Amino acid sequence: MTTAPTDIVILSNGPGEVATWVKPVVRSLHQKAADTGSLRISVILSPCPHASGQEPTILQNYPEVDRVQSAPYFFKFLLTGKTADDWDWHPQGVVVFLGGDQAFTWLVAKRLGYRTVIYAEWEARWSGLIDRFGIMQSEVVKKAPARHRDKFTEVGDLMADVQTTADRTEISAALDISPDTDLIGFLPGSKPTKLGPGIPLCLAIAQSLYAHNPNTQYVIGVAPNLTLADLARYTDPTHNPLVPIIEGPETTLVTPPTGLPYLQILDGPRILLWQRFPALDLFSQCKLCLTTVGANTAQLGALAVPMIVLLPTQQFDGLKLWDGVPGLLAQLPGVRAIARKYINPLIIKGVQKSNRLFAWPNIWAKREVVPELLGPITAQQASEVVRDHLAHPEKLTAMSQTLRELRGPAGAADKMANLILEVVNYPEQGLADTTSDE
């Protein structure tokens, strides 16, 4: 391995990529570098609609990362080559894609004069411009032009290398509960369209479960873009019109001088509010999680945590599930109200009949590994599914085992790190083919 000063520039964007792709790769790079003093890791964030704004802070807490630039400065850097803090650059380096737009990889590398590596989960683009690809599965390479397939190396699924550092005793101490208390986690999302129905539904489910499982502790993973006051507003019917529709319980936000804040349900359980992010340590210790769709399902799957996926349609633009003419209709103001009343129910029924899958583990498996509850679901309906799984722990065990098998073996981060270091050490291969196949 060369000991020449080397820059590894990682491009990323959202909270999921930072937690489940960047973290294991930089950890492996740091462990593998024989001369860590010669290796400098910089992370440049690009804009992302799902970003929380906390990504720079999270990355700065990774001991392996030397420098971080936040997303608002990305396009200025792309145009001028100058970072916000006027970083210097070593003559030798590599640009590594771990989230965002794959095209940025070549553009940044072209400006810096560096080689390129892309981690491709489902699709590899710009193969004529990129030096090497680390791919999640062999299906990715089959889509590439034959003349570029020697650039592809199957490394596996980076999410399978997600690691947690806390054990049950530490989490129980942080929650101030007994280690043998059953823990149920709620992941209602971070966007208003999900939080509106999601928060009152989760609270109503906890209230319904409380009568049958009084010794269970419930906890909400608070998205990093939410303040506690923001979260509490979704429990207030004067701010959230879906609370009475979903029959959300009366709730009070409590912020004690010590310990975690919580939502106290009237005549019901308290729901602890976990604000640390990422919350992988917490959810890894949950017996069961209830989550909205999105990256949450992939992260829980990576941890092999049993889950039930909630897709309440009480405030649901069903037309947005479709492309073409229906999708265009959904954007017309005059049509939206009519669509919600008359067309959405038809589309929801069509989705249910088509057996379309939304949770990532189910998409990967092409079957329902984790239950998906779609429609104007009630807390009673959801809690019955939860109680059934809690009463039959063999179902939870089987779900966890299947999730573990879907993610594949660990080791992807080490293979990706090897690939990155290999690319840095092969300058004699010359410039990449500059003919795009796009």
For 102-129, the pLDDT digits (tens) are 999 999 999 999 999 999 988 899 999 9
Ranges 46-60, 78-92, 230-244: which has the least confidence: 46-60
For 227-236, the pLDDT digits (tens) are 999 999 999 9
**Fold classified for 168-407:** Rossmann fold (3.40.50)
165 contacts: CB under 8 Å, gap ≥ 6: 281
Instruction: Find tokens 């049509």 and name the residue.
Output: 335
- The whole-angstrom separation of Cα 36 and Cα 430 is 26
Which region holds residue 339: left if phi is over 0, alpha if psi is between -120 and 50, else beta?
A: alpha
Supply angle C-alpha 99, 102, 107, rounded to 5: 115
What token pair was written down for 411?
């080791």
Task: Look at strands 262-265 and 270-274 and give their pairing.
Answer: antiparallel
pLDDT at 247 over 70: yes
Return the half-sphere exposure (C-beta side, CA atoms, 13 A cut-off) of residue 169.
0
- The whole-angstrom separation of Cα 98 and Cα 9 is 10
Q: Where in the chain is the domain with CATH 3.40.50.2000?
A: 6-156+411-429, 168-407
pLDDT number for residue 427: 37
pLDDT number for residue 336: 55
Taking the CA atoms of the chain, what radius of gyration do you get in angstroms?
A: 23
Return the half-sphere exposure (C-beta side, CA atoms, 13 A cut-off) of residue 196.
14
| DSSP-derived 3-state class of residue 70 | coil
The pTM assigned to this predicted structure is 0.76
- The whole-angstrom separation of Cα 95 and Cα 113 is 10
285 contacts: CB under 8 Å, gap ≥ 6: 166, 167, 168, 171, 172, 183
Q: Which percentage of the chain shows pLDDT scores above 70? A: 85
Ranges 38-52, 315-329, 367-381: which has the least confidence: 315-329
pLDDT number for residue 426: 37
CATH of 6-156+411-429, picked from 1.10.940.10, 3.90.1150.10, 3.40.50.2000, 3.90.1720.10, is 3.40.50.2000
Residue 225: pLDDT band with limits 50, 70, 90: confident
- The whole-angstrom separation of Cα 169 and Cα 318 is 43
pLDDT number for residue 337: 59
Q: At 308, which helix (H) or strand (E)? A: strand 307-312
- In Å, the largest CA–CA distance within the chain is 71
For 62-82, the pLDDT digits (tens) are 999 999 999 999 999 999 989
- The whole-angstrom separation of Cα 417 and Cα 26 is 8
List the helix and strand counts (H, then E) for the chain.
19, 15
- The whole-angstrom separation of Cα 20 and Cα 241 is 35
The mean pLDDT value for 359-367 works out to 90
Residue 318: pLDDT band with limits 50, 70, 90: very low
pLDDT number for residue 350: 58
- The whole-angstrom separation of Cα 317 and Cα 331 is 10
The mean pLDDT value for 83-110 works out to 95
